[in-house]
Amino acid sequence: MIWLIILGMTAATYLPRLLPFLIGSRIKLPDAIRHWLEFFPIAVLGALIIPGILNATSDHRWLGAAAGLAAAGLSLLTRNVTLIVLAAIAITFALQRLV
């Protein structure tokens, strides 16, 4: 019985991801809609990251915001994600020690 539930859940999550790839190449969307859809990854990424930044430290929310701003600024200088993440962690750690 549990295997049927797992297979059903797999189909429920896999099919919605597969269908746009199978059907999407056949559908020609207007340029305005295609341009509008280009903003979805940015919006989703912001919706996932910003609450995490603001709730990173329970005592002082501004610490997470400061590290997020530093990470955003550093991302303008370099595309090295590892360096950006490590710098944000170091900034948060250093600021926590100062407070």
Residue 19: which pLDDT band, with cuts at 50, 70 and 90? confident
What one-character-per-residue DSSP string does 43-92 give?
A: HHHHHHHHHHHHTSSSS-HHHHHHHHHHHHHHHHH---HHHHHHHHHHHH
- pLDDT for the residue 45: 87
Mean pLDDT along residues 48-68: 86
Instruction: Report the share of the chain in percent with pLDDT over 90.
Output: 43
- pLDDT for the residue 82: 95
Least confident of 5-19, 22-36, 71-85: 22-36
